[in-house]
C-alpha cells in the first residue's frame, strides 16, 4: 500500500462537473492498494495518517496531528502509485489491486 499525503486548507473532487467529495482543513490522501495488501496494511496507513505530526502548533513547529487539529480527510484512490517503469517506456500497473 502506498499513500501520498497533502496538507490542505480545503480540497474537493469533481466528476463531470459535480462535486463528489470535499473537505475543509485537513489531509488530501492519495492511496494505492497493491495486490498483496492486507487489512494490517490498511490499519497501518490509517494509524500513520491520523497520528502523523505534520501540522504546525502556535510556534509553527510540526507538532500536531490530524486528530489534534480536528481535521478532515479526503481519500482518493490512485492506482498509478503502483506504476512500474523499470522495463521499457510504458508503465505497468499489474501490481495494483
Within the chain, how many helices (H) and strands (E) appear? 2, 7
| pLDDT score recorded for residue 26 | 98
In CATH, 2-80 is 3.30.70.3420: no
| pLDDT score recorded for residue 87 | 86
What are the tens digits of pLDDT across the range 49-95? 999 999 999 999 999 999 999 999 999 999 888 888 888 888 888 77
Residue 15, CA atoms < 13 Å, CB-side half-sphere:
4
Answer yes or no: 78 catalytic. yes
Answer yes or no: 6 catalytic. no
Q: Where is average pLDDT lowest: 5-9, 33-37, 88-92?
A: 88-92
Query: Can you give the residue ranges of every domain in the chain?
Result: 2-80
Pair 44, 28: CB distance under 8 Å: no
Considering the candidates 6, 30, 49, 78, report the single residue annotated as catalytic.
78
| pLDDT score recorded for residue 52 | 98
Instruction: Tell me the sheet residues that pair with 65.
Output: none
- Residues in contact with 23: Cβ distance below 8 Å, sequence separation at least 6, in sequence order: 8, 10, 11, 12, 72, 73, 74
Amino acid at each position: 500500500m502506498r499513500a501520498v499525503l497533502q496538507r490542505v486548507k480545503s480540497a474537493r473532487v469533481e466528476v463531470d462537473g459535480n462535486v463528489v467529495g470535499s473537505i475543509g482543513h485537513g489531509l488530501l490522501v492519495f492511496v494505492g492498494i497493491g495486490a498483496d495488501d492486507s487489512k494490517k496494511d490498511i490499519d497501518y496507513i490509517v494509524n500513520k495518517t491520523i497520528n502523523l505530526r505534520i501540522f504546525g502548533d502556535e510556534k509553527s513547529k510540526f507538532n500536531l496531528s490530524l486528530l489534534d487539529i480536528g481535521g478532515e480527510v479526503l481519500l482518493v484512490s490512485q492506482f498509478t502509485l503502483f506504476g512500474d517503469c523499470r522495463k521499457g517506456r510504458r508503465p505497468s500497473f499489474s501490481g495494483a489491486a
